[in-house]
Amino acid sequence: MNSKLVKVLGAICGGLLLVIGGEWFYASVSQQELLNTQIPKDNKPLADAMPTINLTEHDEESYGDLVNRPLFIEGRKPVNEPPPETVKGPAVTVNFDWVLKGIVYSRKSGLLALLTRPATVKSPKASNNRTQIRLGAILDGWRLAEVTADYVVFTLDTDQKQLFLHKAKPKTPTRSGNATPPPGVQPEGTPPEGTPPEGVPPPAPEQQPEDLMPEPESPEDLIENSENE
């Protein structure tokens, strides 16, 4: 039984090998035929045609830059081209509302200008509205160019602004005796109305005319008047 089984299995393996060999041979032949049909034998690759450029010929003098300054040579330097002009925009106007309040001298910084300005919405704090700057400093775009005893000068480009020292007016002290009294009250030390000033005699009393003075009644008239009553 074992010998028969071995023979049968060997015959099956031999048949499979023949089938595999036949398929491989058929595939190689088919592939070769396909390659022969795609690539024709007579066709050869054609060279690419070079492009043609129509250039106009000029005189040698027109190529002076290329002759005097060739591209590929040692020591060739670029031409110093002028810088492009920068277009200046319109000057921005800054609201400079500072007031000069004083000028002081410091050993370390020299002359200092004390400036103040009214409080604004942007800087409501009092610390932002008071400053002291020295000569050459910049405040809101303006540069302090000159400091004197009475005024300072700020510059912005070609503009110039001069601030004079703001001096406070002296306060006159009010006396208590000079206060105006309330209506109807005569101030102290003031003579009453009708009193002549010192050194002037008082006027003589006015005399009534005799016609207007009433005559004294006699005793008889007085008795008659009492009886009538």
Give pLDDT tens digits for 46-71.
Answer: 777 888 887 777 777 777 777 776 67
Q: Is the pLDDT higher at 79 or at 13?
A: 13
| CB neighbour burial string for 19-36, b if at least 16 within 10 angstroms, e if fewer | eeeeeeeeeeeeeeeeee
CA dist 146 → 96, 111, 135, 179 (Å): 17, 10, 7, 48
pLDDT at residue 224 is higher than 60: no
**Phi (first) and psi of residue 208, to 5 degrees:** -80, 145
Least confident of 34-48, 143-157, 168-182, 209-223: 209-223
What pTM does this model have? Answer: 0.35
CB count within 10 Å of CB 111 equals 16
Highest mean pLDDT among 11-20, 53-62, 207-216: 11-20
CB count within 10 Å of CB 44 equals 7
189: which 2 tokens? 């030390």
In 3D space, the residue among 114, 119, 112 whose CA is nearest the CA of residue 97 turns out to be 119
Give pLDDT tens digits for 185-196.
Answer: 555 555 556 565
pLDDT at residue 88 is higher than 80: no
